[in-house]
Structure formats: structure tokens, C-alpha cells
């Protein structure tokens, strides 16, 4: 789980753009953005899946390339280094922020980015390399819109009303308190929460699978070409540096618990959210590539 932050914001560290070039990063994000835009514009589920997978694969390949390139930079002062960036999810006090954060965390887990979450869930502190955080922002900008749109459609359809949830009711009988489980109708807010949690979990799993496949292919290519680049070692070193940076920089105290369906677990809403997560278009457009600050919520 992510740590929870309640204190002041942190200063940005030196950006890796000084080494990799911001223009190159924007070109990459433009390509990712183009794939996401294509995914969003098609009504063919298989095409959408292909575009989304291609976007995540491109982001993973860029991350691998950065790790390998860093391994060849002898001068440590010129190497790209991890950075910390504040991602604004929404305004404090707004309902639904926790499931939005859950989606961002699912995306970041598949893109080598660690996160802390503000107590209000209104912003996330992302730790990683610039290109990886950029990819997370681009993917989130597309997927949050899809998640909200899909959950709205599910609630408006009214199909959740036929489902029930198990609730524990405590009754007093004389001097005794007896707990029993009852079936209760699903409230709209409960259905939406369950739907969005399942959506985020499914999207995170899909992105993680694409990432693992892309990394495995890169490592196999090393073996096939007897490469001395050492992709596996470079990725491991990158991971170690990110862990060290996070430990040194994070000021989080406690653990962020995330969204919880305290009002009840709805199997039907979870299944609907999972189906929507499977159908989500994982592909990004040039307009999304330069996103900074607050993201659509």
C-alpha cells in the first residue's frame, strides 16, 4: 500500500530531461498519446485492446531504454536520476477521490513509479524517472475518463438495483448483542465504488501483464544477440536506485488504506467493473503528452 502524506509539499529534484532531452520525451509521449487516441476512437474491442497494449509496451520499452542507457553513462553526475512529482487528483473533500487514486496507483505499479498519497486523497506524490511518471500521467488522463464514464453508464442503467449485498446487523436481545448477516439492496454509491475498484484492479493487471511481456522480450533479445547491454541488470539497478531514492525522499507516515466498500461488497458491481476494465482502451494523444498538474477527475 502507498504511504500517507499530510505535511508540506516537497521540492523537485534535478530532472532527467537534462540528459535525455525533453524533446525526445515529448515525442515519445506523443506516440503513446496517438495510440491511446486510436484506442478511444474505435468501437472494436479487439482493436482497442491492441492499441492499449501497444501504448503500455511503448512506455515499458522507453523505461528499459533509459535503464540501459544509464548503465553506459560513466559520469554519475550526468545520469538521469529519479524525481518526485506532485500529481493533483482533485479538490480536497470531493467524493470519489480514493477510487481515482486507486486507478493512478494501479497504473504507476506497472510503470516503475512509487507513490505516497495525501491524507485527503486529493494529490499523489509520485517517485520515479521523468519518462515513467509522464507515461503514468498520460495513461491516467485517458483511463480516468473511461472509468467515470463507464461507472456513470452502469449506475444510470439501473441494473445494480437487482443485486443485494451482505451486511452485518447487530441486535440487542436483553443483555446480549447478537450479530447476524442480512441481505440488503445495493445503494448507488456502493455500486459505483465496487465498480470503480474492480475497474482499477483489472486495468492494473492488464498493464502489468504487458510490462512483464515487454521486459521478458527485451531480455530474450539480449540473449539472442549476445548483447553486453545487460538489460536485466540495468533494470535491477534502476529498481534499486528508485527504492533508495524513495526511502531517502518520502516523508510519508502511516499507510494509506485506500477505498473500501464499507457499505457492502457487491459481486454484480465488481463483475461489471471488471468487464469495463477489460474493455478499457489502453492507448495516448499528443495533447495528453504534456499534461501537468491537475488531471481530469
Name every residue whose Cβ is closer than 8 Å to that of residue 157 and which is 6 or more positions away in sequence. none
Q: Does any domain span residue 186?
A: yes
Nearest to 121 by CA among 147, 92, 141: 92
Q: Does any domain span residue 294?
A: no
Q: Does any domain span residue 202?
A: yes
The answer on pLDDT for 41 being more than 50 is yes
- Grid cell of 53 as nine digits: 497494449
Beta strands in 129-270 (DSSP E): 164-173, 176-185
pLDDT single digits (tens) 207-239:
999 888 888 888 887 766 655 457 787 788 888
Distance separating alpha carbons of residues 70 and 64, to the nearest angstrom: 10
pLDDT single digits (tens) 69-98:
655 554 454 567 899 999 999 999 998 899
Any idea which of 147-156, 186-195, 245-254, 275-284 has the lowest mean pLDDT?
Answer: 275-284
Q: Does any domain span residue 96?
A: yes
Q: Does any domain span residue 296?
A: no
How many separate domains does the chain show?
Answer: 1
The answer on pLDDT for 249 being more than 90 is yes
Q: Which domain holds residue 199?
A: 3-289
- Grid cell of 108 as nine digits: 504507476
Find the angle CA(169)-CA(173)-CA(179) to the nearest 5 degrees. 25
**Choice between 193 and 60, residue whose per-residue pLDDT is larger:** 193
What phi and psi, each to the nearest 5 degrees, are found at residue 92?
A: -55, 135
The answer on pLDDT for 206 being more than 90 is yes
Q: Do residues 21 and 123 touch, judged by C-beta distance below 8 A?
A: no
Confidence band (pLDDT; 50, 70, 90) for 202? Answer: very high
The answer on pLDDT for 150 being more than 70 is yes
Q: Does any domain span residue 275?
A: yes
Strands 3-5, 114-118: pairing is parallel
Q: Does any domain span residue 229?
A: yes
**What pLDDT shows up at residue 21?**
43
Any idea which of 48-57, 69-78, 90-99, 156-165 has the lowest mean pLDDT?
Answer: 69-78
Percent of the chain at pLDDT above 70?
Answer: 72
- Enter the DSSP assignment of 76: G
Q: Does any domain span residue 170?
A: yes
Amino acid at each position: 500500500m502507498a504511504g500517507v502524506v499530510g505535511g508540506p509539499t516537497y521540492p523537485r529534484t534535478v530532472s532527467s530531461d537534462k540528459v535525455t532531452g525533453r524533446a525526445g520525451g515529448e515525442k515519445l509521449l506523443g506516440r503513446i498519446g496517438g495510440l491511446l487516441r486510436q484506442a478511444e476512437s474505435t468501437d472494436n474491442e479487439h482493436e482497442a485492446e491492441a492499441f492499449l497494449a501497444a501504448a503500455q509496451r511503448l512506455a515499458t520499452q522507453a523505461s528499459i531504454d533509459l535503464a540501459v542507457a544509464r548503465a553506459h553513462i560513466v559520469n554519475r553526475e550526468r545520469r538521469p536520476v529519479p524525481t518526485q512529482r506532485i500529481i493533483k487528483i482533485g479538490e480536497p473533500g470531493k467524493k470519489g477521490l480514493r477510487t481515482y487514486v486507486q486507478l493512478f496507483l494501479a497504473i504507476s505499479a506497472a510503470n516503475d513509479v512509487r507513490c505516497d498519497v495525501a491524507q485527503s486523497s486529493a494529490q499523489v506524490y509520485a517517485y520515479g524517472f521523468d519518462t515513467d511518471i509522464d507515461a503514468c500521467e498520460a495513461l491516467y488522463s485517458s483511463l480516468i475518463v473511461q472509468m467515470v464514464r463507464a461507472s456513470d453508464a452502469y449506475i444510470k442503467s439501473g441494473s445494480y438495483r437487482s443485486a443485494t449485498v451482505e451486511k452485518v446487523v447487530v441486535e440487542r436481545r436483553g443483555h446480549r448483542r447478537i450479530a447476524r448477516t442480512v441481505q440488503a439492496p445495493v445503494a448507488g454509491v456502493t455500486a459505483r465504488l465496487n465498480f470503480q475498484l474492480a475497474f482499477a484492479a483489472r486495468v492494473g493487471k492488464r498493464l502489468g501483464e504487458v510490462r512483464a511481456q515487454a521486459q521478458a522480450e527485451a531480455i530474450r533479445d539480449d540473449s539472442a544477440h549476445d548483447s553486453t547491454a545487460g538489460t536485466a541488470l540495468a533494470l535491477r539497478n534502476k529498481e534499486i536506485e528508485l527504492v533508495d531514492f524513495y526511502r531517502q525522499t518520502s516523508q510519508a507516515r502511516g499507510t494509506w488504506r485506500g477505498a473500501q466498500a464499507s457499505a457492502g461488497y457487491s459481486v454484480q458491481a465488481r463483475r461489471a467493473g471488471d468487464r469495463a476494465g477489460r474493455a478499457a482502451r489502453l492507448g495516448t494523444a499528443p495533447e495528453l503528452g504534456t499534461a501537468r498538474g491537475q488531471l481530469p477527475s
